Amino acid sequence: MLDLNRLKALHAVHVYGSVGAAADALMVTPSAVSQQIAKLERETGARLMERNGRGVRLTDAAGLLAEHAERILALVETAEADFEALRGAVVGRLNVGAFATATRGLMPAALVSLKQRHPDLWVQLSERDPDRVVREVARGELDLGVIQDWLNRPMAIPEGLSKATLLDDVADVAVPADHPLAGEREIELAALRGEQWISGSPGTVCHDWLVFTLRSASLEPVIACMADEYPTQLALVAAGLGCAIVPRLGRDCVPDGARLVPLRPRQSRRIYAVWRTDAARRPAIRAMVEALAESSRKQENAWAVN
**Residues 99-127 pLDDT 10s:** 999 999 999 999 999 999 999 999 999 99
Report the largest interatomic distance among the alpha carbons of the chain, rounded to a whole angstrom. 75
Is 70 exceeded by the pLDDT of residue 86? no
Q: For residue 158, is the peptide bond before it cis, meaning its omega torsion is within 30 degrees of 0?
A: no
Rounded to an integer, what distance in angstroms lies between the CA atom of residue 83 and that of residue 4?
Answer: 18
Beta pairing, strands 55-58 & 49-52: antiparallel
Region 178-191 average pLDDT: 95
Is 70 exceeded by the pLDDT of residue 171? yes
For the chain, the residue count is 306
Give the per-residue SS3 of 167-199.
Answer: EEEEEEEEEECCCCCCCCCCECHHHHCCCEEEE
State the pLDDT at residue 306.
Answer: 67
Cβ neighbour number for residue 218 with a 10 Å cutoff: 9
Is 80 exceeded by the pLDDT of residue 54? no
Rounded to an integer, what distance in angstroms lies between the CA atom of residue 231 and that of residue 214?
Answer: 21
Confidence bin at 82 (pLDDT 50/70/90) = low
Question: For the range 228-231, what are the long-range contacts, defined as Cβ-Cβ under 8 Å and sequence gap of 24 or more?
Answer: 228/100, 228/200, 228/201, 228/204, 229/100, 230/101
**Residues 192-241 pLDDT 10s:** 999 999 999 998 888 999 999 999 999 999 999 999 999 999 999 999 99
